[in-house]
Amino acid sequence: MIAEVLAVGTELLMGQISNTNAQYISSRLPEAGIGVYYHGVVGDNPQRLRDCLDIALHRSDIIIMTGGLGPTQDDLTKETVAQAFGRKLVLHQESLDKLKAFFERVNRPMTENNIKQAYFPENSTIITNNNGTAPGCLIESEGKVLIMLPGPPSEMKPMFEEFVMPYFKEKLDYKIVSRFLRIFGIGESAMETQLMHMIESQTNPTIAPYAKEGEVTLRVTARCAKDASGDELIEPVIEEIKRRLGDAVYSTHDENLDEVAAKLLMKKNVTIALAESCTGGLIASRFTDIPGISSILNRGFVTYSNQAKMENLGVKLETLQSFGAVSKETAEEMAVGARRVSGTHIAVSVTGIAGPGGGTEEKPVGTVFIALADRNGVQSKKLQLWGNRSRIRNLTALHVFDMIRKWALQQDNG
């Protein structure tokens, strides 16, 4: 069944608030076997709302509307829907009684315009709102289902979970299940080339890639019976993707790269120290977002100046003079020094030019060196990144987490 989410509210169009309702509804409906094909946003204008509603009714089986159910004159969702279906607005006495009881409970007068919240298109199924004054409703007509829910997420979400999801689960005998694979170190086009045969021949499950900054996510989606897990369809596809892409696949459960790297270290009880220059503590910040990281994260150094690199990490003056602060040699001495000072199993370091200034012809903006030191020595890698300062710093952090991840995996293989 094709579903569409139509959000009503001029404040959404003006960017005053974000349309988080559409994201939430779209993330939940697949569990009930429903795919969302369209999102729409329209202001508080009856003609434009009617135009959008007519388009939605033409192309979709299910329309879920949010917003426009309040007491003011610009709340016109129910009125417009009633006109579209050729139905009268009728008073729902139980909703009116609940409204009156609410205002009595909060010791506020109920003004005349509040009464409109108790009117609904005739033959609607009322959806109770236990967290606000605007009930929702559901209309079934000629194979179409239209659901109206209030705009505030604190009201919409409970109504969606308590009424809408059970309604669809009862009606449908299948569901849509997705797994998300996270991939780093290979571009979207190169990845698609390696998976082209699978993508071209897909039926059920389906494979869909989409890019994030510096990495790629693959969504593997299967349609299965509502009492099945879907794993029997999805797992063979995931295994084939892993076979083709190798260790570029860093997670099959939609985890972030920093989380995967940290979990590997925590599982092996490997302690780590960090030495950062151009990232300025970004790597430490990402790590400390992860619960339990204190068991293995010993300390972090932000050694932005040459003096700090020498005093805190023992980087040699000759190294800085001969090769520069942004160099393979400096990165390696930073990592070795951080490990020596902290007494950890491993240490990683970063030094680079994040821009927008500071680059040269020999070392342009985006030149970064990262290193990892362990008991066997030190390994390093040169990165040539592009983009603004924020992007370069973020990509550098991702490369460091990937270096840690691969090091930890090699310990298993060693």
3-class secondary-structure state, position 383 = strand
CA atoms of 258 and 262, how far apart (whole Å):
6
Query: Torsion angle of alpha carbons 277, 282, 286, 289, nearest 10°?
Result: 110
Q: What is the pLDDT of residues 72-104, one digit of tens each?
A: 888 899 999 999 999 999 999 999 999 999 899
pLDDT of residue 413: 62
b or e along 223-246 (b: 16 or more beta carbons within 10 Å of the residue's beta carbon)? bbeeeeebeebbbebbeebeeebe
List beta partners, residue 66. 7, 149
Query: Torsion angle of alpha carbons 62, 65, 66, 71, nearest 10°?
Result: -140
Using alpha carbons, list the distances in angstroms from residue 146 to 6, 27, 127, 137, 156.
10, 18, 12, 8, 15
Q: Which residues contact 24 (CB under 8 A, 6 or more apart)?
A: 153, 156, 157, 160
C-beta separation of 360 from 352 below 8 A: no
Burial class (CB in 10 A: 0-12, 13-18, 19+), 45: middle
| DSSP secondary structure string for all residues of 25-80 | HHHHGGGGT-EEEEEEEE-S-HHHHHHHHHHHHHH-SEEEEES--SSSTT--HHHH
Q: Which of 120, 60, 117 is nearest to 85 (CA)?
A: 120
Which amino acid belongs to residue 197?
H
C-beta separation of 215 from 182 below 8 A: yes
pTM for this prediction: 0.80
Give the distance from CA 345 to its chain's centroid: 33
| DSSP secondary structure string for all residues of 175-199 | EEEEEEEEEESS-HHHHHHHHHHHH
Query: Torsion angle of alpha carbons 14, 17, 18, 19, nearest 10°?
Result: -80
CA atoms of 41 and 137, how far apart (whole Å):
19
Q: What is the pLDDT of residues 118-148, one digit of tens each?
A: 999 999 999 999 999 999 999 999 999 999 9
Q: Read off φ and ψ for residue 345, nearest 5 degrees.
A: -65, -45
C-beta separation of 215 from 184 below 8 A: yes
Give the distance from CA 414 to its chain's centroid: 35
Q: What is the 8-class DSSP label of residue 325?
A: S
**Length, in residues, of the chain:** 414
CA atoms of 320 and 316, how far apart (whole Å):
7
CA atoms of 272 and 69, how far apart (whole Å):
54
**Residue ranges of the chain whose pLDDT lies below 70:** 412-414
pLDDT of residue 414: 53
Q: What is the pLDDT of residues 372-412, one digit of tens each?
A: 999 999 999 999 999 999 999 999 999 999 999 999 999 86
3-class secondary-structure state, position 5 = strand
Q: What is the pLDDT of residues 254-269, one digit of tens each?
A: 999 999 999 999 999 9
pLDDT of residue 147: 98
